[in-house]
């Protein structure tokens, strides 16, 4: 019904445009926009059509929002996995750091023991001859 009306109105406009010898490149876009605007305005006067149009717009918006929520949910799951991996890596790093700290402490302790032994040997080497000569 509505489609037939639109087509008949469009054909009338096209035939009028041809008789007026309008440029062919301008005819389709001008006529189509005129016909589309006419029927778009009529939709505004028809309350049921307007309500259906708004419902369709809301459905589309809800579907887009649901897609966004699904994408956000997927991203949140990926972030959770990354956070879990980071926590696991942090625990391993902490264990390795404690092992390294103990190793470094023992190296430092051995170094100080060696320095102390060398100082004692030098003191003995210097003090024994001095004390024996007196």
Report DSSP letters for 116-131, one per residue.
Answer: HHHHHHHHHHHHHHHH
pTM (whole model) above 0.85: no
pLDDT in tens, 13-34: 776 765 555 455 555 666 667 7
Digitized pLDDT (tens) for each residue of the chain, 134 residues in all: 666 777 777 777 776 765 555 455 555 666 667 766 666 665 556 777 778 888 999 999 999 999 999 999 999 999 999 999 999 999 999 999 999 999 999 999 999 999 999 999 999 999 888 888 87
Q: Please report the pLDDT score of residue 31 as a whole number.
A: 64
Place of tokens 């006419």: 38
What is the total residue count of the chain?
Answer: 134
Neighbours of 31 (CB within 10 A): 19
Q: Please say whether the beta carbons of 10 and 35 come within 8 A.
A: yes
């Amino acid at each position: 019904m509505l489609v037939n009306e639109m087509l008949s109105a469009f054909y009338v406009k096209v035939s009028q445009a041809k008789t007026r010898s309008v440029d062919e490149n301008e005819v389709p876009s001008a006529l189509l926009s005129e016909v589309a605007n006419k029927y778009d305005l009529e939709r505004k006067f028809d309350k049921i059509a307007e309500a259906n149009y708004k419902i369709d717009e809301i459905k589309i918006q809800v579907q887009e929002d649901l897609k966004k929520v699904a994408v956000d949910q997927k991203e949140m799951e990926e972030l959770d996995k990354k956070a879990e991996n980071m926590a696991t890596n942090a625990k391993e790093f902490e264990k390795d750091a404690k092992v390294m700290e103990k190793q470094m402490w023992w190296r430092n302790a051995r170094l100080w023991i060696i320095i102390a032994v060398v100082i004692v040997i030098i003191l003995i080497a210097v003090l024994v001859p001095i004390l024996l000569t007196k």
